[in-house]
Amino acid sequence: MARYSLPTLNWLDLPDGASRFSLEEILDAAAAAGFESVGLDTVTTAGVTDIAGMLRARGLTCTDVGILALGTNAAADAERLAELAQVSGATTCLVAWPAGFDGRPALEVSADILGSAGVRIALEFFPYGALATLESALAACEAIGWDRCGVLLDTWHFFRSDEPWELLHWLDPDQIAIIHADDAPAMISGDLIYESRHRRLPNGAGTFAIADFASAIDTLGYDGVISAEVLSTTLREQAPAEGARVLMEALRTHWPIS
């Protein structure tokens, strides 16, 4: 399995905008930078008829699809993402549980739909969401079943939530569905949503203790996907070729393959 993955959603105008670049441009950039895998979103892939062929032509695989936001349309969105996973070969779907919504029934239904397609949920915790801590995400995954649901461990959310290192050290590597590797500068506002969607940095370019985090993950024995999800106004304005190159250099430096 490829260690490093490049998410297409890095080039989406968040929260609900279009992609800055075509799927073809991003896949070309991923392959040129040395990525063997990508994560796909439903906006960038909309209207594309031969995703599998595009991946195959560039020697790429797909690690994950997303993001599924638990809400009133969760079942329909899960069906759509299950279809994208099947055509792309992905086995993981990123899922977020927004604050203010009882997402438990939607999570269960989504797990059924995605599970029937051979896709495991990667459930994200984030400080401004319904699952604001790693502990709460682990409890939700356990309730759904670890075979159907693992935790999405994002460095931004880990550090901005002030998560206890002890809990990280106690994780079973099989509980981790995917890791999002990113960094950030010092915050300039108290708006966590803005900071998360527009001011992330590649690993090593910010203030997070990335070396300690990566060492802890390696000690666990996790050998799964490290995805360079860097949501940044600066990055999404860059051509994918340049952005992919920078992100790959950061991954190779801070998450070396042993």
At residue 83, φ and ψ (nearest 5 deg) are: -65, -45
Q: Tell me the average pLDDT of the chain.
A: 95
How far apart are the C-alpha atoms of 254 and 183, rounded to whole Å?
Answer: 11
DSSP run (H or E) holding 93: strand 92-96
Whole-prediction pTM: 0.96
What does the pLDDT read at residue 258?
65
Residues 170-190: tens digit of each pLDDT = 999 999 999 999 999 999 989
Q: Is the pLDDT of residue 52 over 70?
A: yes
> What pLDDT band is residue 108 in, cutting at 50, 70 and 90?
very high
Residue-range domain boundaries for the chain: 4-254
Q: What is the mean pLDDT of residues 82-96?
A: 98
Q: Domain 4-254 belongs to what topology?
A: TIM Barrel (3.20.20)
Q: What mean pLDDT comes out for the span 96-125?
A: 96
Q: Distance between CA 189 and CA 205 in Å, rounded?
A: 19
| Cβ neighbours of 31 (radius 10 Å) | 18
**Of 247, 184, 245, nearest to 213 (Cα)?**
184
Question: Which has the higher per-residue pLDDT, 40 or 2?
Answer: 40
pLDDT attached to residue 44: 96
Confidence label for 2 from pLDDT (cuts 50, 70 and 90):
confident
Query: Stretch 144-167: mean pLDDT, rounded?
Result: 96
Burial letters for 91-119: b for 16+ Cβ neighbours within 10 Å, e otherwise? Answer: bbbbbbbeeeeebeebbbebbebbbebeb
What is the pLDDT averaged over residues 66-80? 95
Residue 14: what pLDDT? 85
Q: Is the pLDDT of residue 37 over 70?
A: yes
**DSSP state letters, 183-246:** B----SSS-HHHHHHHB-B-TTSSSS-HHHHHHHHHHHT--S-EE----BHHHHHS-HHHHHHH
Which pLDDT score is estimated for 142?
97
Find the mean pLDDT for residues 156-167: 94
Q: Which pLDDT score is estimated for 257?
A: 78
Q: Which pLDDT score is estimated for 88?
A: 98
Q: How far is CA 65 from the centre of its chain?
A: 8
| Rounded percentage of the chain residues whose pLDDT exceeds 70 | 99
Quote the pLDDT of residue 1. 52
Pick from 71, 171, 64, 70: nearest CA to 118: 64
Q: What is the pLDDT of residue 113?
A: 98
pLDDT of residue 181: 98
